Amino acid sequence: MKTWENYIRKVEPYVPGEQPKDTGVIKLNTNENPYPVSPEVIAAVKQFDTDRLRLYPDPEASVLVDAIAERYNLSSDQVFVGVGSDDVISMCFMTFFNSDLPVFFPDISYSFYEVWADVYRVKYEKKPVDSQFRINPSDYKGKNGGIIFPNPNAPTAIYMELDSVEDIIKSNQDSVVIVDEAYIDFGGQSAVKLIEKYDNLLVVQTYSKSRSMAGMRIGYAMGNERLIKALNDVKFSVNSYTMNATSLAYGAASMKDVDYFNETVNKIISTRTRSEERLRELGFTFPESKANFIFASHRSVPASVIFEELKKRKIYVRYFAKPRIDNYLRITVGTDEQMDKLFEALAEITGDR
């Protein structure tokens, strides 16, 4: 081993869901939105002045920040933007989690939290969810260096009522509490309205799911001005130009189209309801979903077998070979047509016609 190899930062990276290269795939494995971007975004793409590409983008990302602030009735100094919520949350770990006390997050949750904690050398303690995968708010009451959890949780799709979320925030006013609301638009109530009440709350959302823009990479955090300033100070110490000129323009256009947003979100919710009924008939059980995915287990056929069989039929879902959840599949809610093809394949695989 070369000496320099001793000084490499050793990390076990997060493994994102597969992006298959072949065509004709039904892709239900990374919780993307099956519907196109808003027509306002398409118009913005057509109007985009390519001369903008010659110049550095606005380091303050003002058009995007302002559009988000307006949509959520906040002031612009209460909004921070980043390259997907992954970038935003990564910045949050760097900015807020510097205590000697452990950061708390659920044991069954977004597996990236552990990776950021490791890469930034943050101490952490995973709080086990209960036998039905529910987060217990009373687990989040000991001394800690910060708290983060998704609501709805991933990969379980379980939503925690806002009262319980508030209970966690209220009981931890010496720490920053981050509520990762990647999936909140699919039926949950956002904690954004609690920002006025709690200066230790940061709400993180994304364009990747409810706004059909995973490929654009836009995420944002909303919170007290002092939290947002701290995030911007760190951002400007790492990379001033995180948001490129196109994401600023297209992101702002998307945020303004509330009608289209409501229409597509409602379509996904109704397909989810229908999918839950059909999955139940096929012998699956799952917690009630308030996200754009369903976390399902079959009564007799192992999840790993179903996963492989679906893949052979060019249907991709997500499978995690991890303790407690290795008999579950995380199935993204697609269009009705995509889901019908999935059910046909599942009926064949499970022998339930």
**Is 106 among the residues that bind ligand PMP (CB under 6 A)?**
no
At residue 92, the 3 state secondary structure works out as helix
**Is 325 among the residues that bind ligand PMP (CB under 6 A)?**
no
CA 221 – CA 182 distance, rounded (Å): 11
One of 102, 106, 150, 334 touching ligand PMP (CB under 6 A): 150
Span interacting with ligand PMP, options 2-10, 84-92, 114-122, 265-273, rule CB under 6 A: 84-92
In the complex, what is the shortest distance from the CB of residue 314 to ligand PMP, in angstroms, rounded to a whole number? 22
One of 29, 151, 160, 180 touching ligand PMP (CB under 6 A): 180
In the complex, what is the shortest distance from the CB of residue 214 to ligand PMP, in angstroms, rounded to a whole number? 5
In the complex, what is the shortest distance from the CB of residue 272 to ligand PMP, in angstroms, rounded to a whole number? 16
**Is 188 among the residues that bind ligand PMP (CB under 6 A)?**
no
In the complex, what is the shortest distance from the CB of residue 88 to ligand PMP, in angstroms, rounded to a whole number? 7
CA 197 – CA 117 distance, rounded (Å): 28
CA 183 – CA 210 distance, rounded (Å): 7
One of 38, 200, 206, 242 touching ligand PMP (CB under 6 A): 206
DSSP 57: P
**Is 214 among the residues that bind ligand PMP (CB under 6 A)?**
yes
Q: Quick one: 268 or 282, whose CB is closer to ligand PMP?
A: 268
Please report, for residues 73, 202, 231, 323, 339, the alpha-carbon distance to residue 197 in angstroms, rounded to integers and kept in the order given. Answer: 14, 12, 20, 38, 41
Q: Would you state the structure tokens that stand for residue 237, as one six-digit string? A: 């110490």
CB 153 within 8 A of CB 160: yes
Q: Would you state the structure tokens that stand for residue 156, as one six-digit string? A: 């379980």
Residue with tokens 């911007």: 232
One of 69, 92, 154, 315 touching ligand PMP (CB under 6 A): 154
Question: Beta strand pairing status for 315-316 and 219-223?
Answer: unpaired
In the complex, what is the shortest distance from the CB of residue 231 to ligand PMP, in angstroms, rounded to a whole number? 15
Q: Quick one: 114 or 340, whose CB is closer to ligand PMP?
A: 114
One of 79, 81, 92, 182 touching ligand PMP (CB under 6 A): 182
CA 79 – CA 199 distance, rounded (Å): 13
Radius of gyration of the chain (CA): 21
In the complex, what is the shortest distance from the CB of residue 21 to ligand PMP, in angstroms, rounded to a whole number? 20
**Is 85 among the residues that bind ligand PMP (CB under 6 A)?**
yes
Please report, for residues 8, 20, 63, 259, 285, the alpha-carbon distance to residue 47 in angstroms, rounded to integers and kept in the order given. Answer: 45, 31, 16, 21, 47
Contacts to ligand PMP by CB under 6 A: 84-86, 110, 150, 154, 180, 182, 206, 208, 214, 219
